[in-house]
Structure 1
Amino acid sequence: MDGRGRHAQSLMRWTLRPADAGARADVPRRRRTPSSRPPAEAGRLTRLRFSAARWSAPLLEIRVPRFAGLAGAALFLASVGAYGAVKGDHVPALVTAVKDASDLAANRMGFRIATVSLSGQRQLGRDAIFAAAGVTARSSLLFLDVAEARRALEANPWIAEATVRKLYPDRLLITIKEREAFALWQLDGKVSVIATDGTLLSETVPPRFATLPFVVGRGAAAKAKDFLGVLDRHPAIRDQVRASILVADRRWNLRLKNGIDVRLPEDDLDAALTLLATLDRERRLLSRDIAAVDLRLPDRVTVRLSEAAAAAREEVLKAKPPKRKGSDA
C-alpha cells in the first residue's frame, strides 16, 4: 500500500503484449550498422586468434634450465677448440695428453705395468721392442691396446710375428718371432741386409753380417732364396763365388773371387753348375788366366781369355814361324 492507500501488485501477473500496428508504425526502428568485415571473414579471424592463443600459451610457460647459458658457452668453446686443434695439426698432441691422463689415473688404481716378459728376440734389444710396442714408464696395463701393440711390433721389419698378452694387474707378456738375416743385397750402389722373403731388414751392414751371400740387381732380393738354394747344392762352386748378379730379372751371372765371370743360362741351372764343377775339377778351368765362362748355350762352353792372356797368346802366334810350302814336315 502506498501513501494513498493503494496496494502494489506484481507485474508478472500481467502479460506484455505488443502494441497495435499503428503504434508500432509511430515508433522509429533502430537500423543496424553494417559490419566492416564479411561474417565469414570475421569468423575465421576469431578462430585464428583463438588458435594462436592456445598454442602460444605452452611456449610462454617453458622454463629455460638454470645453467643452459653456461652449457652453451662451454659447448661453443669446445667446438672452437676442436676446430683449432684440427686446423693447427695439434690432434696427435691432444690424443697423447688424453692418453697420458688416462694412464695416470689407471696407474694410481694399481694397473701400472711393473713387469714385462720378453721372449724370442735375438737381433732386437729390449728398448727397441718397448718402443715399437708403445710401452713406456707411464703406460698402464688397463689402457694398453694389445692389438695395436701387436700391429706396431709386426711393422718392424725384423719381427715376423708377435703376441702380446696382459696378466692383470701389472704384468705384460711379449713373444716375437724374428726374421733371419739371409743375404746382402746391392741396388744402385747401396748395400742392405735382407731376409729370406726379400724383406729389407737394415740399410746398414753390421760386421756380423759381412760374410752373408751377396746378390746384386733389381729384383734380386725376391729371387735370392731360390737361386742361392740351387747354388748351395754345388759347394765347390759356391765357395768361390763373390757375388750373384741378376741380369734383366731373368738369369744370373756369378762373379768369382778371382774375378772370373760365369754366365749361367736362364733354365736348368743345376746342369750348368754341374758342368762347371766338372770342368774345374778335371781341367782346372777356373784357375786359368781367363776372364769369363759362358754356359748359356747347352751344347757348348765358351771361354774368354783375360786381356793379359789374350795379349800373350797373340805374341806367341806372331813369333811362331810360318810353314814353308813344299817343305817336309
Structure 2
Amino acid sequence: MRLRRLAIRIVSIRPPRRAGLLATLALFVATGAYGVQRGGHGPALNASLLALGDQAANAAGLKVTGVRLTGNRQMSHEQILEVAGIRPDSSVLFFDADLARERLKANPWLSDATVQKLYPDQIMISVVEREPFALWQRDGRIHVISADGKVIVDHLDARFQHLPLIVGKGAEERAREIVGLLGDHPDVAKSVRAAVLVAERRWTLVLKNGIDVRLPDADLDRAMVDLAKLDAERRIMTRDVAIIDLRVPDRVSVRLTEDAMKAHEAALKERERERARRRALQGQRT
C-alpha cells in the first residue's frame, strides 16, 4: 500500500514549464564540458575566456598601462613580465596576482616575490633575487649556484667566471663552508683553482699549478693555518710537489711529482756513487 501511494504521488507531480528545454540545455552543457575535458582543450578554453574577459575589462578602462617593478638586477623588466604572465592586453580585473607570485617564486633567479593590483590600471611587483655565489661542476657541466646551493643558471655564464669553482656531488650544499673558509685565508685562496668535495666528506684544494692539497674532515681552519705557515716558511705551494696531505693532525705529508721523484732518485744514486768513490780512494791510501 505504501509503494502504491508513493507511485501515485510521483505520477501526479507536474514538471515546471520549460523543464524539458532546460534539461536539454543542461545535457548539451554537460556533454560539451565532458568533451573539452576528454580532449584536453581546457587550457585553450580558459585562455579564450580570459581573453574575452580582458577585452571587456579593457574597454571599461581597466587595462594594465603600467607595472612598477623593484628588486631586479639580473632579470630584465621584460623577463619579469613574461614570467608573471602580463601581456600587452592584460587587464587589472582579471589578472591573477596569486598565480603570478607563484610563477615568479618558481623561477630559479627569484627567492621571493610580491604582486599587488592597483586599480584601475597599475600592477606593482617586488622581487628578491638570489645572488650568484659560486660555480658548481658535476658530470662535466658547470652551473651557477646561490649560497644555499640552488642552481640559478644551468650553464657557464661569462658574467660569473670570476666566482669560486667547487666540484663534486653534494658540493653545492656545502658551498658556504668552503667559500667562507677560502675567504678567511686569502693568501691560500689566491693560489686555488678549484675545491673538490671527495666522497661527499672532505675537501681537496686544486691549486693553479696543479698541486692537490688534501684537507681533513674536520678542523679545516687549523689545516689552512698550517698550510699558510708552511708556504710562508718553505714556499711549499710553489715547490715541485704533486700532493700536500694535511689530513693527519700535526703532520704534513708531501708527494713529489714524477719528474721531481726521478730527479731525487738520480741525486741519491749520484750521492751513493760519490760515497763509493771516496771509500775507494781511502782504501788506496791505506
1:105 Cα shift?
A: 1.4
Distance, in Å, in 1 between the alignment partners of 2:10 and 2:94 is 52
Give the structure 1 partner of residue 142 of structure 2: 191
In the TM superposition, 1:23-42 aligns within 5 A as none
- What is aligned with 2:152? 201
Provide the rounded CA distance (Å) in 1 between the counterparts of 2:74 and 2:260.
48
Tell me, what secondary structure is at the counterpart of 1:181? coil
* Residue of structure 2 equivalent to 1:148: 99
Which of these residues, 188, 193, 212, is aligned with residue 242 of structure 1?
Answer: 193
Residue 325 of structure 1: CA displacement? 8.4
Give, as a single letter, the amino acid of the residue that structure 2 aligns with 1:244. A
CA gap of 1:170–1:55, structure 2 versus 1, over 3 A, is closer
* Structure 2 CA distance for aligned equivalents of residues 327 and 236 of structure 1: 52
1:287 to 209, 224, 238: 238
**Which among 127, 143, 153 is matched to residue 78 of structure 2?**
127
User: Which of these residues, 173, 178, 185, is aligned with residue 129 of structure 2?
Assistant: 178
Residue 165 in structure 1 maps to residue 91 in structure 2: no
Question: Which is higher, the Rg of structure 1 or of structure 2?
Answer: 1
- Identify the structure with bigger relative contact order (alpha carbons < 8 Å, sequence gap 6+): 2
**Which runs of no fewer than 5 residues in structure 1 stay unpaired?**
1-43
- The structural deviation recorded for 1:299 is 2.2
Q: Given the alignment of the two structures, is residue 305 of structure 1 paired with residue 259 of structure 2, yes or no?
A: no
Identity in percent:
46
More off after superposition, 102-111 vs 69-78 = 69-78
Shift of 1:154: 0.7
TM-score by structure 2 length? Answer: 0.91
After TM superposition, give the deviation of residue 73 of structure 1 in Å: 2.1
Instruction: For residue 326 of structure 1, report the CA deviation from its aligned partner.
Output: 11
Q: Is the aligned partner of 1:272 residue 2:228? A: no
CA-to-aligned-CA distance 1:4-61 (integer Å, 9 cap, x gap): xxxxxxxxxxxxxxxxxxxxxxxxxxxxxxxxxxxxxxxx9xxx99x799858844xx
1:313 and 1:57 map into 2 onto residues whose CA distance is 113
Q: Distance in 2 between matches of 1:53 and 1:257?
A: 95
Q: Which residue does 1:103 correspond to in 2?
A: 54
Post-superposition CA distance 1:110-160 (Å, at most 9, x none): 111011111111100112111111111121101112122111111111111
Q: Which residue of 2 aligns with 1:219?
A: 170
Shift of residue 208, structure 1, vs aligned partner: 1.1
Q: Distance in 2 between matches of 1:52 and 1:165?
A: 59
Count of residues paired in the alignment? 278
Q: CA RMSD in A?
A: 2.3
Q: Under a length normalisation based on structure 1, what TM-score does the superposition of the two structures give? A: 0.79
C-alpha distance 263-148 of structure 1, shift in aligned 2 (>3 A): same
Task: Please state which structure has a larger fraction of its residues in helix.
Answer: 2
Query: CA-to-partner distance for each residue in 1:83-108, whole Å, 9 max, x for gaps?
Result: 11111111111111121122221111
- Runs of 4+ deviating beyond 4 Å: 51-58, 325-328
Describe the shift of the 1:63–1:208 C-alpha distance in structure 2 as closer, same or farther (beyond 3 A).
closer
